[in-house]
Homo-oligomer: A and B are copies of this chain.
Amino acid sequence: MAKKPELLPGTLDLMILKTLTRAPLHGYGIALAIKQLSDDVLTVEEGSLYPALQRLLLQGWVKAEWKMTETNRRARYYTLTVAGRKQLGIELTQFEQMIAAIGRVLQNA
């Protein structure tokens, strides 16, 4: 690894879906939420964020809508679809299973 990444590859879609469970958010807000919730450990770069949102849109896990923010700026708000909520459950389970498996390797090796 040349430089340590800001994210663990493969976990971004999962985190985005999770941040949308409470309420719709725009992209910038999602990135802020992840940064803050992680105590500044995780930083979502724009070049990772927007392609990820496109993926989620294409797969139908989220839908998007242009709106005005509280501060009078145009922004694209993303909402979890029913399929997206289901997908979140699947990915959460897989992620936890994988983390547990890695944990076993790191403990017993």
* Chain A contacts to B: CB under 8 angstroms: 1, 4-5, 8-11, 13-15, 18-19, 21-22, 33-34, 37-39, 41-42, 92, 94-95, 97-102, 104-106, 108-109
CB distance from A30 to the nearest CB of B (A): 10
Q: Is the CB of B109 within 8 A of A4?
A: no
With A38-B104, A42-B101 given, is the CB distance from A109 to B10 under 8 Å? no
CB distance from A39 to the nearest CB of B (A): 7
Which are the 9 A-B pairs with shortest beta-carbon distances? A41-B101, A38-B101, A9-B9, A18-B109, A19-B109, A37-B105, A37-B108, A15-B105, A9-B10
Q: Is the CB of A92 within 8 A of B106?
A: yes
Residue of B nearest to A13 (CB): B1
**With the chains together, A101 CA to B21 CA distance in Å?**
18
Contact partners of A92 in chain B: CB under 8 A:
106
